[in-house]
Amino acid sequence: MTQQDAGRASLDGVDAESASAFAAEPDGYARLWTPHRMAYIESHHVQESTDECPFCRAPGLPDDQALIVARGEHAYVVLNLYPYNSGHLLVCPVRHVALYDEATEAEAVEIAALTQTAMRVLRSTLRCDGFNIGMNQGRIAGAGIAGHLHQHVVPRWSADANFMPIIAGTKAMPRLLGDVREELARAWPSASGQ
């Protein structure tokens, strides 16, 4: 048996690779390999809607209906309708622009400022322990709505990850979107205080 063969284990007929068989530094993570997810990824499940862009439509709606937490001159903050965690925010330019390098300087500056304020508000209200912040640029990079730039601000807690999303395809959300939006909007500093 080769070292590579020794690094493979069979799990109900599916080979799972052990990192110990490859040249690498151990990182302490146990990994649950989910190759069945490739069918989902490769199915191009994200389809651009033929309807109006939801990030263009949202600013024209009342804040509570659109889940908007705060508005700036060039950008706004909205709760993600399909959050990874409670308080998952999106910072979007008002203008329909797809890529970060297409944003104007004023848009980029306001997106950055709103992101910083979002972090402060999330820490003070939801008492999160950390954040995932990022932008998926283009459909191939995972942007669900590739036509309109948006930055994710995902609050994280030490106990927020478990087996449910991988095993059961289910994410347990402990708070309702409307309640979270109301709490964050109340805590958001006034435009003069940003």
The one catalytic residue among 74, 148, 150, 152: 150
The residues, any chain, with a CB within 8 Å of residue 181's CB and separated by 6 or more, are 63, 64, 67, 68, 69, 79
Under 8 Å between Cβ of 157 and 175: no
Under 8 Å between Cβ of 80 and 194: no
Over the Cα atoms of the chain, what is R_g?
A: 20
Residue 95's CB is within 10 A of a number of other CB atoms, namely 15
The whole-angstrom separation of Cα 62 and Cα 165 is: 32
Residue entry with tokens 């003069």: 192
Nearest to 89 by CA among 107, 62, 116, 65: 116
Residue 19's CB is within 10 A of a number of other CB atoms, namely 14
The whole-angstrom separation of Cα 110 and Cα 103 is: 11
Structure tokens belonging to residue 66: 């659109």
150 is catalytic: yes
- Residues classed as catalytic: 150
